[in-house]
Amino acid sequence: MKRINIKTMHLPDCTVGVLSFCGLRLFTLELPWLDNEKNVSCIPRGIYRAYIRNSPANGYVLELLDVTNRTHIQIHAGNFTHQIKGCILVGDSIKDINKDGVPDVTNSKNSLAKLLNKIGIDEQVEVCIE
């Protein structure tokens, strides 16, 4: 099974990371670590199985399975932490787009499309969050 690696760094207002997969390098944005509480915390470090699905709220996403005490954890498009309810956003750079002092990710829709195309619609992958 192919593995996506995400190396994260916890900041007071968010969690940022670098995603590596089959030669692709992207950046991730999550909420800060708040003891894995639903909708307000990033997810715990670990290895998760994941698959592509069509989410009614977010379109095509990569959904992570077996996240402790959490459901519907996705890697999906978005730029800002206010668009996250415990999921992971992906982009091609980290920048404070809206000038609020909290990092954002850029070019998220295209970055997500690149990631999903590398995975393939019927493939399962592992996501390793460090």
Q: Where do the domains of the chain lie? A: 2-129
pLDDT higher than 90, residue 126: yes
Which of 3-7, 26-30, 60-64, 123-127 shows the lowest mean pLDDT across its residues? 123-127
Mean pLDDT for the chain overall: 96
Q: Is the CA virtual torsion 10, 54, 66, 3 positive or negative?
A: negative
**Percent of the chain having pLDDT more than 90?**
95
pLDDT higher than 90, residue 5: yes
Find all residues with CB under 8 Å of 56, minimum gap 6, and list them. none
Its pTM surpasses 0.75:
yes
pLDDT higher than 90, residue 43: yes
Q: Residue 1: its pLDDT value, please? A: 87
Give the DSSP H or E segment for 91.
Answer: strand 88-91
Average pLDDT on 24-49 reads 97
Q: What are phi and psi of 126, to 5 degrees?
A: -105, 140
Average pLDDT on 89-103 reads 97
pLDDT tens for 51-90 read 999 999 999 999 999 999 999 999 999 999 999 999 999 9
